[in-house]
């Protein structure tokens, strides 16, 4: 009798959810009717899922679980079918043989098929033995070096991301030519994804510093050198390969030819300190050297080349140096001014007693935000590394008190991101530059990645702009603001008027915008809502970042990469070791798909468990 009461209670709750789903379907029938035919059932299912989530269902899930029934935890892609199936089971357990049916609803099998189809249309064919695609941000050097693209495609890159915030159309065209060449050579179908830069809310330029180079070896706590400084010596227009982190000494090409491996270069730095550089190897049009000396080199510094096998010395002079990058050094409690004018920034000016004569100041790349922020609102700089509170606000400047920085102080440099998560900013997702870039993208790319999507109006603006071109482009919507997350359902319904579409979880800005404590659950909700609409998503920002940039992964980023297979695509940023990152990600994704399929837990066979042993090396990846 007690179980019958529980079954009746469950039946009433399920019926209430079904009624709400039908009511919302009717309320939003106009939006559903406007979507692309490929999304008609998906749009209805999205509405049904939102109706389902309108209720606190934890208690209902517990009731179902205690009775040994499906608990609706993976209902996203097939909401009405799952609700009716549970209702049918309840009917039978209560002695009622009615089978609940409804025309036109999506089954579990159809749901998976729709998501696979939409993913294939957006990202192309999957790699062998791996269902999750890999997107890689292409470095500028790939325009001139075909081998970079060829290697990445061969390792498993499924789509190449070109960021329009960097380089020019001529460079992009060369990248795409190399992608097409690699596709033909390897018989692959790597897609071209191009990112619109969007509105850039960043710090402006600083006053130029002195023209010098700081050679800085790594030292231990007692000052002993543990790793010599790397030095790139080359003509002024020849940059170090792979964007290596090193000091750069420009010299004339004619003098460079005199420098051989094993030579030593001695010089006196700007502090009259005698220093040496050992030449280790030649690479391309440059030379690599190392030094155990900390040194400051200025334009025109005399370098004495001491040759290994010859007597005598050759004099070389350092060419024109770029000004040293300036920055604001900030501690908790410091005050800085962010101003709308493009005046060059400068550090705090103190008098001889340490009293502040003039606060540190720096400009902002989006002056229009000054009319939209208010006193008391938080502000973040450089991916949240520096936090502040706005103490005064007007149309010309903001006075900001620093509330968080490193214990030893933090550096705020030019061109660093600014986030105003609690400010009601009205900044369009499509800039004048974006509209210019779309002319190239429409002719050359497969998909456009749309930055800073805040609401359905941003989506409409993009679709209106794309309607000027004959080619049908895929669209990936980058969700990276609190407002974008809040408006995700209407953003999806508007974008579903075209086909195919996807969503990128831009986790860097989104984490700062929504708050660190909220981000994990928000990331989860985006995955769920996208699945309810059968829209593929991209797991982006800092995936295997340490591996890509430094060649060694951290334990936490390996776990993050394993979780990433819940998305349909994972994005890697560029780095000197990007090939290693692609290789590692490919292995992780192929292995993890034996253990998890989207949110569903998989239970592969464990070898030797009948002998109370566990083996985990049975998968061929």
CATH of the domain at 226: 2.40.33
**For residue 447, which of 80, 190, 84 has the smallest C-alpha distance?**
190
pLDDT for position 242: 62
Based on the domain organization, do 307 and 396 belong to the same domain? no
In this structure, are 533 and 452 located in the same domain?
A: yes
Q: According to the per-residue pLDDT averaged within each range, which of 93-107, 226-240, 557-571 is highest?
A: 557-571
The arithmetic mean of pLDDT across residues 123-152, rounded, is 93
Interatomic CA distance for residues 359 and 240, integer angstroms: 37
**pLDDT band at residue 424 under the 50/70/90 scheme:** confident
User: Is 609 inside any structural domain?
Assistant: no
Does residue 458 belong to any structural domain of this protein?
Answer: yes
Contacts 24+ apart (CB under 8 A), 431-439: 431/196, 431/197, 431/198, 431/199, 433/164, 433/197, 434/164, 434/196, 434/197, 434/198, 435/465, 437/164, 437/169, 437/194, 437/196, 437/197, 438/196, 438/465, 438/466, 438/469, 439/469
Task: Name 526's Cβ contacts closer than 8 Å, sequence gap at least 6.
Answer: 479, 485, 488, 503, 505, 537
Q: How far apart are CA 240 and CA 284, in angstroms?
A: 9
Q: For position 539, what pLDDT does the model report?
A: 96
> CATH code at 432?
3.20.20.60
Instruction: Tell me: pLDDT of 428 over 80.
Output: no
Instruction: Say how many C-beta atoms besides its own lie within 10 A of residue 169's C-beta.
Output: 15
Is 323 within a domain?
Answer: no
Does the pLDDT of residue 497 top 90, yes or no? yes
Is residue 78 very low, low, confident or very high in pLDDT (cuts 50, 70, 90)? very high
| Helix, strand, coil percent content, the chain, rounded in steps of 5 | 35, 25, 40
In this predicted model, what pLDDT tens digit does every residue of 334-387 receive, in sequence order? 999 999 998 899 888 887 887 888 899 999 999 999 999 999 999 999 989 999
Q: Is 420 helix (H, G, I), strand (E, B) or coil?
A: coil
Mean pLDDT of all residues in 178-199: 95
Q: Look at residue 52 in the predicted model and tell me its pLDDT.
A: 96
**Does residue 621 form part of some domain?**
no
Q: How far apart are CA 199 and CA 305, in angstroms?
A: 49
CATH number for the domain including 387? 2.40.33.10
Residue 334 pLDDT: 93
Question: What's the pLDDT score for residue 611?
Answer: 86
Is residue 302 within a helix (H) or strand (E), and if so which, with residue range?
A: strand 302-306
The 3-state DSSP class for residue 378 equals strand
Taking the C-alpha atoms of 47, 48, 49 and 51 in order, what is their torsion angle to the nearest 10 degrees?
A: 90
The DSSP string of 98-135 is: PPP--TTPPPHHHHHHHHHHHHHHHH-SPBTTB-SEEE
pLDDT at 51 > cutoff 90: yes
Are the C-beta atoms of 192 and 152 separated by less than 8 Å? Answer: no
Statement: the pTM of the whole predicted model exceeds 0.75? yes
| Model confidence at 223: pLDDT above 60 | yes
Residue 457's pLDDT band (boundaries 50, 70, 90)? very high
Average pLDDT score over residue span 55-78: 91
525 CB contacts (<8 Å, ≥6 apart)? 485
Q: Are 140 and 175 in a shared domain? A: yes
Domain count, the chain: 4
Q: Are 433 and 555 members of one domain?
A: yes
| Domain extent at residue 268 | 212-317
Contacts 24+ apart (CB under 8 A), 21-25: 21/47, 21/48, 21/51, 21/52, 21/79, 21/80, 21/83, 23/51, 24/48, 24/50, 24/51, 25/51
CA distance 608 to 213: 60
What pLDDT is recorded for position 4?
86
Residues forming beta bridges with residue 234, ordered by sequence position: 250
| Domain co-membership, 193 together with 274 | no
Beta carbons of 479 and 510 less than 8 angstroms apart:
yes
Q: Confirm if 420 and 548 have CB atoms less than 8 A apart.
A: no
Mean of all residue pLDDT scores within the chain = 90
Residue 254 lies in a domain: yes
Q: Does 251 score more than 90 pLDDT?
A: no
300 in the Ramachandran plot: left (φ > 0), alpha (ψ -120 to 50) or beta? left
Q: Which two tokens stand for residue 17?
A: 């959810």
State how far the Cα of 56 lies from the Cα of 304, in Å rounded to an integer.
Answer: 76
Residue at 205 is within a domain: no
Q: Report residue 285 as tokens.
A: 């049009």
Q: Is 363 found in the same domain as 289?
A: no
φ, ψ of residue 343 in degrees (nearest 5): -60, 140
On whether both 455 and 572 belong to a single domain, the answer is yes
**What is the per-residue burial (b if ≥16 Cβ within 10 Å, else e) of 58-70?**
eebeebbeeeebe
List beta partners, residue 136: 160, 572
Same domain, 293 and 272: yes
**Confidence (pLDDT) at 544:** 94
307 lies in the same domain as 345: no
- The reply to whether 279 falls in a domain is yes
Tell me the CB-side half-sphere exposure of residue 489, using CA atoms within 13 A: 17
pLDDT tier at 86, thresholds 50, 70, 90: very high
Residue 435 shares a structural domain with residue 507: yes
Distance CA 163, CA 245 (A): 22
Residue 100 has pLDDT above 90, yes or no: no
pLDDT at residue 300, rounded to an integer: 86
Bridge partner residues of 317 (DSSP): 302
R_g over Cα of the chain:
29
* Boundary of a domain, candidates 356, 389, 419: 419
Range in 138-142, 189-193, 245-249, 271-275 with the lowest mean pLDDT: 245-249
| Closest of 124, 121, 129 to residue 593, by C-alpha | 129
SS3 154: helix
Pair 433, 544 in one domain = yes
pLDDT number for residue 311: 52
Does 152 have pLDDT greater than 80? yes
pLDDT band of 252, cuts 50, 70, 90: confident
Average pLDDT over residues 64-85: 93
Q: What whole-number distance in Å separates Cα of residue 239 and Cα of residue 290?
A: 17
Final residue in a domain of this structure, among 419, 451, 477: 419
Does any domain span residue 289?
A: yes
Work out the average pLDDT over 424-428. 81
- Looking at the structure, do residues 124 and 35 belong to the same domain, yes or no? no
pLDDT in tens, 533-556: 999 999 999 999 999 988 999 999
Domain final residue pick, 391, 419, 447? 419
Q: How many helices (H) and strands (E) does the chain have?
A: 18, 31
State the sign of the Cα–Cα–Cα–Cα dihedral 339, 343, 345, 347.
Answer: negative
């Amino acid at each position: 009798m007690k179980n019958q009461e529980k079954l009746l209670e469950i039946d009433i709750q399920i019926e209430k959810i079904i009624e709400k789903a039908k009511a919302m379907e009717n309320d939003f029938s106009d939006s559903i009717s406007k979507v692309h035919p490929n999304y008609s059932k998906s749009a209805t299912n999205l509405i049904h899922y939102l109706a389902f989530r309108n209720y606190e269902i934890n208690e209902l899930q517990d009731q179902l679980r205690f009775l040994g029934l499906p608990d609706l935890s993976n209902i996203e892609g097939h909401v009405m079918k799952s609700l009716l199936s549970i209702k049918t089971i309840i009917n039978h357990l209560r002695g009622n043989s009615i089978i609940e049916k409804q025309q036109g609803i999506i089954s579990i099998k159809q749901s998976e098929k729709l998501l696979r189809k939409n993913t294939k249309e957006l990202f192309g064919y999957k790699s062998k033995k791996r269902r999750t695609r890999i997107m890689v941000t292409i470095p500028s050097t790939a325009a001139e070096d075909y081998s970079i693209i060829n290697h990445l495609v061969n390792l498993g890159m499924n789509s190449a991301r070109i960021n329009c915030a960097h380089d020019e159309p001529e460079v992009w065209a060369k990248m795409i030519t190399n992608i097409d060449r690699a596709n033909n050579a390897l018989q692959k179908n790597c897609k071209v994804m191009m990112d619109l830069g969007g509105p850039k809310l960043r710090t402006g330029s600083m006053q130029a510093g002195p023209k010098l180079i700081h050679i800085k070896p790594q030292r231990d706590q007692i000052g002993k050198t543990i790793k010599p400084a790397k030095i790139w010596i080359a003509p002024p227009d020849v940059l170090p390969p792979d964007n290596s982190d090193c000091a750069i000494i420009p010299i004339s090409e004619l003098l460079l030819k005199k420098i051989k491996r094993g030579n030593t270069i001695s010089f006196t730095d700007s502090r009259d300190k005698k220093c040496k550089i050992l030449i280790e190897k030649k690479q391309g049009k440059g030379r690599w050297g190392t030094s155990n000396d900390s040194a400051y080199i200025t334009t025109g510094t005399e370098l004495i080349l001491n040759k290994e096998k010859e007597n005598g010395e050759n004099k070389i002079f350092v060419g024109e140096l770029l000004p040293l990058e300036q920055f604001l050094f900030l501690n908790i409690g410091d005050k800085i001014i962010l101003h709308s004018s493009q005046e060059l920034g400068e550090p705090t000016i103190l008098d001889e007693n340490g009293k502040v004569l003039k606060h540190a100041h720096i400009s902002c790349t989006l002056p229009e935000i000054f009319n939209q922020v208010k006193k008391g609102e938080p502000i973040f700089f450089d991916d949240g590394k520096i936090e502040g509170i706005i103490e005064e606000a007007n149309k010309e400047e903001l006075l900001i008190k620093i509330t968080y920085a490193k214990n030893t102080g933090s550096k705020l440099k030019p061109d660093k991101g600014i986030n105003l998560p609690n400010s009601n900013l009205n900044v369009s997702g499509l800039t004048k530059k974006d509209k210019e870039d779309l002319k190239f993208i429409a002719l050359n790319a497969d998909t456009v990645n749309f930055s800073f999507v805040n609401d359905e109006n941003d989506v409409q603006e993009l679709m209106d702009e794309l309607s000027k071109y004959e080619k049908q482009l895929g669209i990936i919507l980058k969700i990276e603001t609190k407002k974008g997350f809040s408006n995700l359902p209407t953003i999806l319904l508007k974008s579903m008027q075209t086909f195919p579409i996807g969503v990128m979880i831009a986790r860097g800005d989104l984490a700062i915008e929504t708050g660190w404590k909220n981000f994990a659950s928000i990331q989860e909700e985006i995955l769920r809502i996208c699945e309810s609409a059968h829209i593929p998503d991209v797991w982006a920002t800092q995936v295997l970042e340490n591996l890509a940039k430094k060649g060694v992964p951290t334990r936490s980023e390996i776990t993050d990469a394993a979780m990433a297979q819940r998305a349909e695509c994972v994005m890697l940023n560029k780095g000197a070791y990007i090939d290693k990152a692609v290789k590692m990600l490919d292995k992780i994704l192929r292995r993890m798909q034996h253990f998890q399929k989207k949110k569903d837990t998989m239970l592969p066979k464990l070898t030797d468990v009948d002998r109370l042993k566990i083996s985990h090396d049975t998968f061929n990846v």
